């Protein structure tokens, strides 16, 4: 049995290794369970994204608090330094050495710790000078209380380009996992439903910040454990990176869609009242116990 001093020494060595040997664009496969992916994502967004945007972006567990006392300030300083210096090793080392993060990773195997590090790295990519996009506050969507995020191109992109430093991380969920993880919290942004595979998929990583648009600029390309982003329409700096979540994501026929295209075309939520009166009443399609009860599902396109 190792004594605690020895354990501490070993963890410190592991943190050094994790900070020195890594890839800026991590491998696209992973061995994470839905619960691990959810916790890794909540922590990574807290450390990397929230400390830049200065508000709390989407979380699977809305009640759990991950950081101690002044660690939010420490995370903000780390991100400020990273954006100036682009020193990845320093940023990873600073995050992994935070007291709460050490406590979080000490129970994991080295390989799992490396997967946690990789998840942080995926989010650091948003703030890489080579990203070609950035993250901004977005006040468009009522489902997010008009305080969410959006991804915006910072350079021109051409149709067919792959946005290398932007990835979605996927994890198939069994029915019970879905209930345990999500139902109590009502997380409505993070689940896609695959009609082909007939299962729900947890959809996280930086790609989860991509908003829906009925005429999107980009497209998800999934390989099972992750999704790349491919450009569908030429973009210039300032254009939002958007994808199509599915025909029924915002209600039947996306009747509640609040996207820019719907606003422009007076469709979805922006439909004129006279149109609404002419509409047939919506048929009640939800069965008891169906998956569309507490949160919406993205259907894969």
Q: Please state the closest distance from residue 195 (CB atom) to Zn ion, in A.
A: 20
Nearest residue (CB) to Zn ion, 11 versus 251: 251
Alpha carbon distance 84, 62 (integer Å): 31
Give the number of C-alpha atoms closer than 13 A to the C-alpha of residue 255, restricted to the C-beta side: 10
Provide the 10 A C-beta neighbour count for residue 79: 22
- Ramachandran assignment for 122, one of left (phi > 0), alpha (psi -120 to 50 degrees), beta (any other): alpha
Q: Please state the closest distance from residue 269 (CB atom) to Zn ion, in A.
A: 8
Nearest residue (CB) to Zn ion, 16 versus 256: 256
Which residue's structure tokens are 């605690």? Answer: 4
Nearest residue (CB) to Zn ion, 59 versus 212: 212
- Stretch of 139-147, 153-161, 189-197, 262-270 contacting Zn ion, by CB under 5 A: 262-270
**Structure token pair of residue 91:** 């940023």
Q: Please state the closest distance from residue 259 (CB atom) to Zn ion, in A.
A: 3
Q: Does residue number 229 form part of the binding site for Zn ion (CB under 5 A)? A: no
Q: Does residue number 262 form part of the binding site for Zn ion (CB under 5 A)? A: yes
Q: 3-class DSSP state for residue 157?
A: strand
Q: Which of 39, 151, 259, 297 binds Zn ion (CB under 5 A)?
A: 259
Q: Which of 105, 214, 218, 243 binds Zn ion (CB under 5 A)?
A: 214
Q: Does residue number 207 form part of the binding site for Zn ion (CB under 5 A)? A: no
Q: Please state the closest distance from residue 270 (CB atom) to Zn ion, in A.
A: 9
Q: Tell me the number of residues near Zn ion by CB under 5 A.
A: 5
Nearest residue (CB) to Zn ion, 235 versus 243: 243
First to last CA, the chain: 52
- Spell out the alpha helix ranges (H) of the chain: 4-20, 34-44, 51-53, 71-85, 88-96, 99-105, 110-124, 175-178, 260-265, 273-278
- Stretch of 42-50, 173-181, 186-194, 259-267 contacting Zn ion, by CB under 5 A: 259-267
Taking residues 92 to 131 in sequence order and writing x for each that binds Zn ion by CB under 5 A, - otherwise, the string is: ----------------------------------------
Alpha carbon distance 253, 186 (integer Å): 22
Alpha carbon distance 35, 177 (integer Å): 8
For residue 235, the 8-state DSSP code is B
Nearest residue (CB) to Zn ion, 243 versus 259: 259
- Stretch of 13-21, 142-150, 186-194, 258-266 contacting Zn ion, by CB under 5 A: 258-266
Nearest residue (CB) to Zn ion, 229 versus 262: 262
- Stretch of 1-9, 144-152, 155-163, 210-218 contacting Zn ion, by CB under 5 A: 210-218
Q: Please state the closest distance from residue 294 (CB atom) to Zn ion, in A.
A: 22
Distances (CA, A) of 222 to 71, 121, 140, 237, 279: 35, 20, 27, 25, 36
What is the biggest distance separating any 2 CA atoms in the chain, rounded to whole angstroms? 74
Q: Does residue number 257 form part of the binding site for Zn ion (CB under 5 A)? A: yes
Site for Zn ion in 266-295 (CB under 5 A): 268
106-143 core/surface letters (b: 16 or more CB in 10 A; e: else): eeeeeebbbbbbbbbbbbbbbbbeebbbbbeebeebee
- Stretch of 49-57, 141-149, 156-164, 250-258 contacting Zn ion, by CB under 5 A: 250-258
For residue 54, the 8-state DSSP code is T
Residues that bind Zn ion (CB under 5 A): 214, 257, 259, 262, 268
């Amino acid at each position: 049995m190792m004594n605690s001093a020895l354990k501490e020494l070993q963890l410190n060595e592991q943190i050094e290794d994790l900070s020195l040997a890594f890839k800026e664009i991590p491998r696209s496969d992973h061995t994470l369970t839905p619960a691990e992916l959810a916790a890794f994502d909540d922590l990574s967004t807290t450390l990397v994204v929230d400390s830049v945007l200065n508000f709390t972006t989407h979380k699977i567990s809305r009640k759990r608090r991950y950081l101690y006392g002044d660690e939010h300030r420490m995370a903000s300083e780390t991100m400020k330094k990273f954006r100036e210096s682009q020193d990845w090793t320093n940023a990873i080392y600073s995050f992994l050495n935070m007291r709460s993060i050490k406590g979080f990773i000490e129970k994991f195997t080295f390989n799992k710790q490396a997967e946690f590090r990789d998840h942080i790295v995926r989010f650091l990519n948003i703030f890489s000078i080579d990203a070609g996009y950035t993250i901004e506050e977005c006040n468009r969507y009522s489902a997010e209380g008009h305080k969410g995020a959006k991804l915006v191109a910072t350079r021109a992109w051409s149709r067919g380009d792959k946005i290398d430093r932007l990835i979605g991380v996927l994890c198939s969920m069994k029915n019970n996992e879905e209930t345990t993880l999500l139902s109590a919290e009502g997380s409505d942004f993070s689940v896609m439903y695959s009609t082909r595979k007939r299962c729900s998929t947890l959809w996280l990583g930086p790609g989860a910040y991509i908003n829906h648009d009925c005429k999107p600029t980009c497209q998800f390309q999934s390989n099972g454990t992750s999704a790349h982003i491919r450009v569908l329409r030429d973009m210039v700096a300032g254009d939002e990176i958007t994808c199509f979540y599915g025909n029924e994501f915002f209600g039947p026929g996306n009747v509640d869609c609040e996207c820019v295209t719907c606003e422009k075309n007076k469709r979805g939520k922006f439909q004129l009242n006279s149109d609404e009166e002419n509409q047939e009443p919506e048929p009640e399609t939800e069965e008891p116990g169906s998956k569309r009860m507490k949160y919406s599902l993205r259907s894969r396109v």
